[in-house]
Structure 1
């Protein structure tokens, strides 16, 4: 079930990036630093302090050598580093696409 969830998240991210008229992967990746700066300064309304905190916690979880939920606990330990990484990548790609659209609309 976890693998199916990861596959679905990956497919949603792919669909979002490849949707006609949507910012491409390169534009989204290049926008990440600008988006994070604008979010931390409170200039971009799509990246709230709560979202920033969740993204930061995901990064800390990934780089931490200690898992909050041990992987050996069946049914509970399904939140492993790869799952968190996939969520983080999907969240960042989705939000950065919205940021690119917001940035474009703000300048026109």
Structure 2
């Protein structure tokens, strides 16, 4: 990957997600299945980030997460909000990065590399 595709923090991505000039939410969500396929095929390097997003999504919807809410209502809700915010930011950031990666790949002409 090139250095232009540096990963920003998920929080920063969440704040700038709807800035003019960035891909829209529909385009980002449409890129999600392609991103997963490219990652599983080993073409895209988003495996660790996708794994963390899957773990955070599982945490949010899991019954184990009900324990903090039952015992410590406010703290349990705050941890859910923090994980959900990170998940949303990471999803927005990674899909934007993937779309930039796809665009860069469109500009590459398939063929043989010849060194001179």
TM-score normalised by the chain length of structure 1: 0.70
- Aligned twin of 1:4: none
Mapped partners of 1:67, 1:103: distance in 2 = 36
- Aligned twin of 1:34: 34
Mapped partners of 2:67, 2:105: distance in 1 = 42
- Aligned twin of 1:13: 14
SS in 2 for 1:27: helix
State the 1:24 CA deviation: 2.1
State the 1:66 CA deviation: 1.5
State the 1:54 CA deviation: 0.9
Q: Deviations over 1:4-55 (max 9, x none)?
A: xxxxx3x7424233243x222221111011111211222112x03x222211
TM-score normalised by the chain length of structure 2: 0.66
- Aligned twin of 1:79: 79
SS in 2 for 1:18: coil
Provide structure 1 residue ranges, at least 5 long, that are not aligned to the other structure: 1-8
- Aligned twin of 1:6: none
Highest Rg: 1 or 2?
Answer: 2
Q: How many residues align?
A: 95
Mapped partners of 1:13, 1:28: distance in 2 = 13
Mapped partners of 1:14, 1:75: distance in 2 = 23
Q: Residues 13 and 90 of structure 2 are in contact (CA less than 8 Å); yes or no, is this contact kept in structure 1?
A: no
